[in-house]
Structure 1
């Protein structure tokens, strides 16, 4: 059987750190029959700064043997109120991942698997890939977060639900947190509709506690 990997970057959502600081994260859904992945269906959420981390790690780990694709440019005027900017960034992130997944060398990188199929923070992904955690990469991949998302069908729907703004991609707006933020989500939707994977998942945290019924 021909092996294939399908990946979607979609469902942008505003996450609020506090009254002044907010950011957007994106749902990354992967569906594959490739032998490179032990988990064939997964769904996690990542933010732009984590994509930046991933590219830096892949570039370093590949010893410059692979020319990595570029991420969407960092826009100092990026706004959470601008549906067009969000959609363009989301499409750029998906193109980046699609190109990454075409490289056999990069597919062997543990950081890529942790990024795509676990909800660990960047610091814990780095520690896990280096063997400095009490759990392995495979164990981390077995515990991931996914669930149904509210979806919109047009850019107008997306624009209506954007009620917060962040005027830049400054460090204050992209501060990494080691624990999953407990915030009220304002759900966004990509301007163009995409196929919906009916994924059932488990609620997990970075201590990797999994329910016995997870797949």
Structure 2
């Protein structure tokens, strides 16, 4: 069946996911998420980073400060989770961020190249750093190492790279907006991402120190063992894990979430995302062509109006012209031309805000699936290595030690595989789906309203002409 057909795997997949979410089985760490088109603005008066053990208690219900205290309590839960993480890990208690702004693009030139930097400011402000300047490649670094450090977590996409026109003012502004959206989506996702080493380094160190320290962060992330990542996830997602390293299935878990069927479900998910990516790319290209054609129409509409004016002038200047005169349509075609001027921009808006963004999100979700596949391959390799010991007639002391080590490694990889699988199906695919659907519905609704308005204006133009 087609992916969106009634009774298809995708609809069953998503209905079960939503059912699981609505039964109250959402996990800790999955805080409020936002539509792409409506990012959360910086919160004024957001709670500053509390000292350990000095977090404000929740106020009585009905308190005038209830909203502020709710934010403080949310922050408290974040820090309680962080306090249980091992020191020296990828996530540590750092500067909590409730708002971010990417602004003030500045272009610099060297003998060999030109590049643009952007000011990144966070709220609440850091004590020692008012803002930092970052290049596009620095944002690429941030996303890469968040993806590496948190396999299975959806990291929002960046605006695409460009070889041409990257020094044009309109492109720089478009990129700034894309980077702003990336940062706002990032801080509205899992709160532990804010307290990760890559993010904290990105927002807090000026260029020289940032460049020197990046390698240390990379080494920490590369050095994580499967057991360390699995244990980190069990701390951050306690409702998905039991007391042991290998997580048990939570209650009310739909059949499709069971780890035993995860391989097949992941194959279906990847096929679905790949097919969607192909179709969305076609939509993007077609909508871009429509916008281009509307540009041509608008350009030629002014020529039509101008030609009618010239024709009217010529005919009115001819003294021996016969009666009756030609109907005066200059004003009506002029009104028509003015009305359709909005068309190209409207089509470019829906192209950029819907199809382009959706394609980027699909690619970002495929990154999540690809990280899962790398863990799956690592798991299969470890299982194969352990299974070889069964065929040995007798093991030496050295082989027994190697077997024990390999079995422990397999157990750790299994724990990571289990946790990443549950995180993807329980939270990440639901986040991706809801975010995409909200954005599509919001933008298409606005597009429809604009088309109705233009249609009404055009109907008025032509109806007046009929009465003339």
Normalised TM-score (structure 1) = 0.52
Q: Distance in 2 between the 1:16 and 1:49 partners?
A: 16
Question: Which residue does the alignment assign to 2:99?
Answer: 6
CA distance, structure 1, for counterparts of residue 145 and residue 169 of structure 2: 30
Is 2:156 the counterpart of 1:94?
no
The answer to whether 1:71 aligns with 2:163 is: no
Q: CA deviation at 1:54?
A: 0.6
* Pairing of 1:27-46 with structure 2 (within 5 A): 27-32=119-124, 39=127, 42-46=130-134
Aligned-residue offset at 1:76: 1.8
Residue aligning to 1:83 = 169
Larger Rg: 2
| Alignment partner of 1:25 out of 86, 94, 117 | 117
Shift of 1:123: 4.8
Mark the CA change 1:76 to 1:86 in structure 2 (over 3 Å): closer, same or farther.
same
Q: Is the 8 A contact 1:30 1:40 kept in 2?
A: no
Structure 2 CA distance for partners of 1:25 and 1:40, relative to 1, 3 Å:
same
SS of alignment partner, residue 84 of structure 1: helix
Match of 2:210 in 1: 121
Mind listing any 5+ residue stretches in structure 1 that lack a counterpart?
132-215
1:17 Cα offset (Å)? 2.4
The structure in which a higher percent of residues are strand is 1
Partner in structure 1 of residue 89 of structure 2: none
User: What is the distance in 1 between the residues matched to 2:149 and 2:132?
Assistant: 23
User: Contact (CA 8 Å) 1:25, 1:48: kept in 2 or not?
Assistant: yes
Q: Deviation digits for residues 128-171 of structure 1, max 9, x if unmatched?
A: 5757xxxxxxxxxxxxxxxxxxxxxxxxxxxxxxxxxxxxxxxx
Please state how far the C-alpha of 1:75 moved relative to its aligned partner: 1.3
TM-score normalised to structure 2 length: 0.25
Distance 2:149 2:118 in 1: 25
Whole-angstrom distance in 1 between the partners of 2:138 and 2:109: 17
The 1:8/1:40 distance shift into structure 2, 3 A limit, reads farther
Q: How does 1:138-177 map to 2 (within 5 A)?
A: none
Q: 8 Å contact 1:15–1:22 — kept in the other structure?
A: yes
2:107 is paired with a residue of what secondary structure? strand
Q: Is the 8 A contact 2:100 2:122 kept in 1?
A: yes
RMSD over aligned Cα atoms: 2.3
Distance 1:62 1:40, change over 3 A: farther
**What SS is found at the alignment partner of 1:70?**
coil
Taking the aligned partners of 1:128 and 1:60, their CA distance within structure 2 comes to 11
Secondary structure, aligned partner of 1:91: helix
Number of residue pairs the alignment of both structures matches: 124
For the residues of structure 1 that align with 2:146 and 2:140, how far apart are their CA atoms? 10
Aligned with 1:121: secondary structure? helix
Q: What is the distance in 2 between the residues matched to 1:28 and 1:59?
A: 21
CA contact (8 A) 1:58 1:111 kept: yes
Kindly indicate whether structure 1 or structure 2 has the higher relative contact order, using CA contacts under 8 Å at least 6 residues apart.
1
- Structure 2, unaligned stretches of length 5 or more? 1-67, 73-96, 221-468
Moved over 6 A (4+): none
What residue in structure 1 maps to residue 26 of structure 2?
none
The structure with more helix, counted as a fraction of residues: 2
* In structure 2, C-alpha distance between the alignment counterparts of 1:11 and 1:88, rounded to whole Å: 13
